[in-house]
Amino acid sequence: MTRQPLLAVENLSMRFGGVIAVDDLSFTAYRGEITAIIGPNGAGKTTVFNCLTGFYRPTGGTLVLTQDGLHFRLERLKGYRIARHAGVARTFQNVRLFAGMTVLENLVVAQHVALTRASGYNIGGLLGLKSHREAERAAIARAREWLDLIDLRERADEDAGNLPYGAQRRLEIVRAMCTGPRLLCVDEPAAGLNPRESAELGRFLVMIRDRFGVGILLIEHDMSVVMGISDHVIVLNYGKKVADASPSEVRRDPAVIKAYLGEEEE
Amino acid sequence: MAYFIQQLVNGLTLGAIYALIAIGYTMVYGIVGMINFAHGEIFMIGAFISLIFFVVLGVIGITWIPLALLLVLLIAMALTAVYGWAVERIAYRPLRGSFRLAPLISAIGMSIFLQNYVLLVQGAHEKALPPIITGGFDLMQQGGFVVSVSWLQLIIVGATLLLMVVFTAIIQLTPLGRAQRATEQDMTMAALLGIDVDRTISLTFVIGAALAAVAGLMVTLQYGVIDFFIGFLAGIKAFTAAVLGGIGSLPGAVLGGLLIGVIEAFWSGYCPSEYKDVAVYAVLILVLMFRPSGLLGRPEVEKV
Amino acid sequence: MSAAPRVKDAGLAALIALALAFPLIGFETSDAGVGFSTRFSWVAIAAAVVFAGRLLFGLVPRRFHLHQFGVRKTAIPQGKLVKLASAALIVFAVLLPVTPFASRRSIDLGTLALIYVILGWGLNVVVGLAGLLDLGYVAFYAVGAYTFALAAQWYHVSFWEMLPLSGMTAATAGILLGIPVLRLRGDYLAIVTLGFGEIVRIVLNNWTAVTGGPNGIGDIPRPSVFGMPIAAGAPAGVTTFNHFFGIAYDPIQRLIWLYYVALAVALAINWFSLRVRRLPIGRAWEALREDEIACRALGLNPTTTKLSAFAIGAMTGGFAGALFAARAGFISPESFNFQESATVLSIVVLGGMGSQLGVALAAVILATLPEFGREFAQYRMLIFGAAMVAIMIWRPRGIFTIRAPSVRLDRI
């Protein structure tokens, strides 16, 4: 199978006042692959995510998402439209679940766009039309499938805020997947997890990649996760790309070791 | 021209009073990031305490004005500060870390409570105080119109500027100010570094309330009539001043206060005065919509 | 804590209470500011109460403190309880005019209570569900009332024609106001809406040519019974309700009819609110309240979501306004000041943000409290203000609330 490019980042830069957080960054992420972005703290990884998902407007460069003959210029789409139209979903470094709503509701809200359309922009739903009831049932069924995958079916009707931390992390990924994305951006999913949970999470991401064929962008500090599951790795330092290669190549790259891994491996 | 200058003088006097209240809003917002909606009520309480003690001192025979003024100033600042402290301790401190709207709702509850408390214990009627500081001088004269400035107006503007200098110095130079700025930046980190965050926040409220008491005293002297409701409008106008100057900035609060006072005075002088409050609300809305960082504040970046 | 520090702590609290009470409770000046009387015994009592209260509070074991009672820990099946209480409340409301409590006063009061219930439910959508703090809610109430009153004055339209239009006008006002302000952060939004609410009141007060200024507008028509007025006599060509059914005219009939109209509107709004909460838009409101940034990342449009909550809240306020105008027959800007907004907000907060039953109970209590004696009337807002603070500290989701999920896994 040939690699299908999904996201092409060209010359992306992001400046805050005098600080250059991302400097002339270019890379490609492929469909059905896990692309890891690693680098020391402050390297600009989350800033890349924020540019991709519409929270920041890049100072320069282009971000093109291509799939099935459709092209989306992400730097021109505003805010929520990136998730809605281009199909870029994300999770957050500090988990952002709807803590006061149930686990199931979190997953149903993620299917808001489709549900709204099926409910005749709520009016059909207000009148109790069949199309809405069916769409809601389908949304719940889909949520249930995902909950089975992360072993949370039993807790579906509990407040999401009451879940243990690891479960919240998994739920947030699943919630992003419920939007039906083309590209999933995961920001430090293993942060705060123990080694066993991290390994499990890695396998879960691989499963998502293989079963749903989405492209995954992964920011992660836990090298065992990154090296174990990534298809290729991009290394950032001070907003600049230091390396872009397969995990085994990156591990051997002297520039990377100097900039980053050198501190990590003793 | 003479009329213009008279309005300017009146506006600056009014603005100085707004500025004193605005400092309380801006300091509290700076340090805990909440609008202390009850701050207008603290000002109102300051005015009541001032009026009550002027009357009490008068009756017990302390009538030498400089002494009476000094005593009332100290008493009002001290007792109003206790109110400021109590409000923070009771209504805000337990809510740190609660959901986003909780402190503001609690502050509104506190404001309703304090207003009705004063209404109950002091009555709904306006309270009047005979003029205490009288006299002044004529600044200029033009075409039969005399621009007069009262001694009181001079005192009000002078005291405001003096207090601003003193408090800016406190914030810049003393350990309290350093603790305040550290708490403002990062409460958790400040606590880890050994700063008593609770005490710092309490002191911020105490200082804000003491300054509001000074404003209350000045309103009592300048206008001679107060009631339990004056805190609402004065509070909103002072908040507008804080926002206009740039919330979190002390010089901003003073600049904003003076500007709001002048805008209000000119509007009353040249436009239908029934709508003078609308002018202030319009400033508030326009600033928040188009320049939420105000004139001297720093813009906020959304944290994702 | 052992005894000595506990007494010291209570003593300190009493000292502070003393400082608080001394100036404002201790003295009362004459209005002209020349003399005063003292009430030092009250100050002493206040300090003693605080001392005793603080001491006793310290003695209560921590696990019995109020905020330790989580909603889920209570033994009563609350879902059922809520249903039961709601049904009882509705039955009582429907039967009120035939109970022994029925009198002109009580039925009129019932209508007023229903108006507050409607206002509470309307603001609940905005504050309780969408998490947008609107401090100028009363502006939409005013828009509804004035739309009806002005249209009745100029075009002689009836209540029934104007009820939907009042709602529509208020909703339009909500959207027009919402578009510029809804991108503001929570507390700024609150202050800006307060400003708009006050602007509306000031304009109503001063635009005398149109609104009658402080004198207001009178002679607002009462709702008819399917086109037939309730009246002793009528001009030629008009059949009165009393004539048609052969019932002797009694002024209480008008009150009862208006009461049922208000009840019908309230029930319709309740149905609508419960239903809309389970629709995608309702869930989007709650999601927005929980985390706006996460909403954007999921493709929800925050602007339209907020606008819809604002518009629906405003529309409900508009209906309440039309009912208020019909009840009083006269409106003036005085009825639409910030105190009114604060009152409705306190209803929503006390009832429990998001809870239909809680809001209804709080509204009924607030509206009827003054009837239980002058003291209650005097202390009403004092208590409500203090209660708002207490609720935020101990039960931020309200006294009565449990949140029913909008969807459940087992129900398919």
A79-83, A117-121, B254-258, C81-85: range with lowest mean pLDDT: A117-121
C48-77 average pLDDT score: 61
Does B304 reside within a domain?
A: no
Interchain CB contact of C34 with B (< 8 Å): yes
Cα–Cα distance between B252 and A199 in angstroms, integer? 53
A206-220, C68-82, C117-131: range with lowest mean pLDDT: C68-82
Query: Are C199 and B128 an interchain contact pair (Cβ–Cβ within 8 Å)?
Result: no
Residue B64, burial from CB neighbour count under 10 angstroms (0-12, 13-18, 19+): exposed
Query: For position A193, which CATH number holds?
Result: 3.40.50.300
DSSP string, B161-192: HHHHHHHHHHHHHSHHHHHHHHHHH-HHHHHH
**Do residues C38 and C135 share a domain?**
no
Question: Residue B167 — very low, low, confident or very high, per pLDDT cuts 50/70/90?
Answer: confident
Domain that holds residue A210: 18-70+181-266
Residue C59: the pLDDT is 66
Residue C75: the pLDDT is 40
Residue C67: the pLDDT is 47
Task: Give chain B's radius of gyration (CA, Å).
Answer: 19
For residue C299, which residues of chain A lie inside 8 Å, CB to CB? Answer: 80-81, 83-85, 112-113, 179
Cα–Cα distance between B14 and C187 in angstroms, integer? 26
Cα–Cα distance between C352 and C136 in angstroms, integer? 20
Cα–Cα distance between B26 and C145 in angstroms, integer? 37
Tens digits of residue pLDDT in C1-19: 577 888 888 888 888 998 8
Secondary structure class of C224 (helix, strand, coil)? coil
Considering only CB atoms, A109 lies closest to which of C283, C296, C412, namely: C283
Residue A266: the pLDDT is 39
Does B298 reside within a domain?
A: no
Considering only CB atoms, C284 lies closest to which of A109, A125, A141, namely: A109
Do C138 and C344 meet the contact criterion of CB atoms below 8 Å apart?
Answer: yes
Reply yes or no on whether the pLDDT at C70 is more than 70: no
**Do residues A207 and A261 share a domain?**
yes
- Please compute, for residue B11, the number of CA atoms within 13 A of its CA located in the half-sphere on the CB side: 22
Residue B74: both structure tokens together = 């100290």
For residue B109, which residues of chain C lie inside 8 Å, CB to CB? Answer: 346, 349, 384-389, 391-392
Reply yes or no on whether the pLDDT at C72 is more than 50: no
**Do residues A198 and A264 share a domain?**
yes
Residue B248, burial from CB neighbour count under 10 angstroms (0-12, 13-18, 19+): buried
Q: Measure Cα distances from B137 to B149, C248, C368 in Å.
A: 6, 76, 57
Interchain CB contact of C16 with B (< 8 Å): yes
The total number of residues written for chain B in this structure: 304
Beta bridge partners, A240, equal: A237
Secondary structure class of C269 (helix, strand, coil)? helix
> Per the structure, how many domains does chain B have?
1
Q: Which residue of C has its CA nearest to A143?
A: C409
Secondary structure class of B145 (helix, strand, coil)? strand
Reply yes or no on whether the pLDDT at A176 is more than 50: yes
Do A98 and A160 meet the contact criterion of CB atoms below 8 Å apart?
Answer: yes
Does C67 reside within a domain?
A: no
**Do residues C46 and C192 share a domain?**
no
Boundary of a domain, candidates A123, A146, A178 = A178
User: Cα distance from B226 to chain C (closest Cα, Å)?
Assistant: 10
Does B171 reside within a domain?
A: yes
Tens digits of residue pLDDT in B98-153: 888 889 999 999 999 999 999 999 888 888 888 888 777 877 777 778 888 888 89
Do A64 and A74 meet the contact criterion of CB atoms below 8 Å apart?
Answer: yes
Reply yes or no on whether the pLDDT at B34 is more than 70: yes
For residue B108, which residues of chain C lie inside 8 Å, CB to CB? Answer: 135, 342, 345, 388
**Do residues C336 and C378 share a domain?**
yes
Tens digits of residue pLDDT in C229-247: 777 777 767 777 777 777 7
**Do residues A155 and A215 share a domain?**
no
Considering only CB atoms, C291 lies closest to which of A98, A112, A113, namely: A98
At residue B111, φ and ψ (nearest 5 deg) are -60, -45
For residue A157, which residues of chain C lie inside 8 Å, CB to CB? Answer: 405, 408-410
Boundary of a domain, candidates A117, A146, A178 = A178
How many contacts (CB atoms, under 8 Å) link A and B?
Answer: 6
The total number of residues written for chain A in this structure: 266
Q: What sign does the CA torsion over C43, C49, C52, C57 have?
A: negative
Considering only CB atoms, C202 lies closest to which of B120, B128, B278, namely: B278
Task: Give chain C's radius of gyration (CA, Å).
Answer: 24
**Do residues C42 and C111 share a domain?**
no
Does B303 reside within a domain?
A: no
Q: What percent of chain B has pLDDT over 90?
A: 39
Question: What residue spans of B61-150 are helical by DSSP H?
Answer: 65-87, 102-122
Considering only CB atoms, A92 lies closest to which of B301, B302, B304, namely: B304
For residue C391, which residues of chain B lie inside 8 Å, CB to CB? Answer: 109
* A 34-63 → B contacts, CB under 8 A: 46, 50, 55
Does B262 reside within a domain?
A: yes
**Do residues A163 and A194 share a domain?**
no
Query: For position B13, which CATH number holds?
Result: 1.10.3470
Residue C355: both structure tokens together = 């809870």
**Do residues A62 and A185 share a domain?**
yes
**Do residues A156 and A202 share a domain?**
no
**Do residues A199 and A247 share a domain?**
yes
Boundary of a domain, candidates A178, A213, A243 = A178
**Do residues C121 and C27 share a domain?**
no
For residue C70, which residues of chain A lie inside 8 Å, CB to CB? Answer: none
Considering only CB atoms, C293 lies closest to which of B82, B95, B304, namely: B304
Longest CA–CA separation in chain C, Å: 86
Interchain CB contact of B302 with A (< 8 Å): yes
**Do residues C134 and C215 share a domain?**
yes
Does B296 reside within a domain?
A: no
Does A5 reside within a domain?
A: no
Angle at C40 between CA C35 and CA C46, to 5 degrees: 135
ipTM over the 0.90 cut-off: no
> Per the structure, how many domains does chain C have?
2
* C 168-227 → A contacts, CB under 8 A: none
User: Cα distance from B102 to chain A (closest Cα, Å)?
Assistant: 15
User: Cα distance from B204 to chain A (closest Cα, Å)?
Assistant: 31
Q: How many CB atoms lie within 10 A of CB C375?
A: 10
DSSP string, chain A: ----EEEEEEEEEEEETTEEEEEEEEEEEETT-EEEEE-STTSSHHHHHHHHTTSS--SEEEEEEEETTEEEETTTS-THHIIIII-EEE--SS----TTSBHHHHHHHHTHHHHHHHTTTTHHHHTT-HHHHHHHHHHHHHHHHHHHHTT-GGGTTSBGGGS-HHHHHHHHHHHHHTT--SEEEEESTTTT--HHHHHHHHHHHHHHHHHH--EEEEE-S-HHHHHHH-SEEEEEETTEEEEEE-HHHHHH-HHHIIIIIHHH--
Considering only CB atoms, C28 lies closest to which of B109, B115, B122, namely: B122
For residue C291, which residues of chain A lie inside 8 Å, CB to CB? Answer: 96-99
Residue C61: the pLDDT is 57
Query: Are B113 and C386 an interchain contact pair (Cβ–Cβ within 8 Å)?
Result: yes
C96-111 average pLDDT score: 81
What predicted TM-score, i.e. pTM, was given to this entire model?
0.87
Q: Which residue of C has its CA nearest to B84?
A: C20
> Per the structure, how many domains does chain A have?
2
Residue C301 is given by DSSP the state: -
For residue A55, which residues of chain B lie inside 8 Å, CB to CB? Answer: 302, 304
Cα–Cα distance between C366 and C384 in angstroms, integer? 8
Does C70 reside within a domain?
A: no
Tens digits of residue pLDDT in C192-235: 999 999 999 999 988 888 888 888 888 888 877 777 777 777 77
Tens digits of residue pLDDT in C371-402: 777 777 778 888 889 988 988 888 776 655 56
Question: Which residues 6+ apart lie within 8 Å of C378 measured at CB?
Answer: B120
Q: Which chains touch C (3 or more CB pairs under 8 A)?
A: A, B
Average pLDDT along chain C: 83
**Do residues A185 and A265 share a domain?**
yes
C270-282 average pLDDT score: 89
Domain that holds residue B128: 2-290
Query: Are B304 and A16 an interchain contact pair (Cβ–Cβ within 8 Å)?
Result: no
Angle at C405 between CA C404 and CA C411, to 5 degrees: 110
Residue B302: the pLDDT is 57
Question: Residue A166 — very low, low, confident or very high, per pLDDT cuts 50/70/90?
Answer: confident
Closest CA to C195 of B279, A99, B116, A260: B279
Closest CA to A93 of A142, A37, A146: A37
Cα–Cα distance between C194 and C205 in angstroms, integer? 17
Interchain CB contact of C214 with B (< 8 Å): no
Query: Are B284 and C22 an interchain contact pair (Cβ–Cβ within 8 Å)?
Result: no
Do C115 and C265 meet the contact criterion of CB atoms below 8 Å apart?
Answer: no
Domain that holds residue C283: 83-411
Reply yes or no on whether the pLDDT at B237 is more than 70: yes
- Please compute, for residue A25, the number of CA atoms within 13 A of its CA located in the half-sphere on the CB side: 35
Cα–Cα distance between A29 and A67 in angstroms, integer? 12
Query: Are B301 and A16 an interchain contact pair (Cβ–Cβ within 8 Å)?
Result: yes
Question: Residue A263 — very low, low, confident or very high, per pLDDT cuts 50/70/90?
Answer: low
Considering only CB atoms, B52 lies closest to which of C29, C206, C293, namely: C29
Question: Which residues 6+ apart lie within 8 Å of C391 measured at CB?
Answer: B109, C349, C350, C398, C399
Query: Are B304 and A55 an interchain contact pair (Cβ–Cβ within 8 Å)?
Result: yes
Do B205 and B89 meet the contact criterion of CB atoms below 8 Å apart?
Answer: no
Place of tokens 């002109």: C104
Does B204 reside within a domain?
A: yes
Question: Which residues 6+ apart lie within 8 Å of B133 measured at CB?
Answer: B65, B69, B150, B151, B152, B155, B221
Closest CA to A210 of A191, A231, A190, A194: A231
Place of tokens 């002679």: C219
**Identity of residue C345:** L
Does A81 reside within a domain?
A: no
Q: Which residue of A has its CA nearest to B299?
A: A17
Interchain CB contact of C202 with B (< 8 Å): yes
* B 282-301 → A contacts, CB under 8 A: 301
Residue C300: both structure tokens together = 């929800």
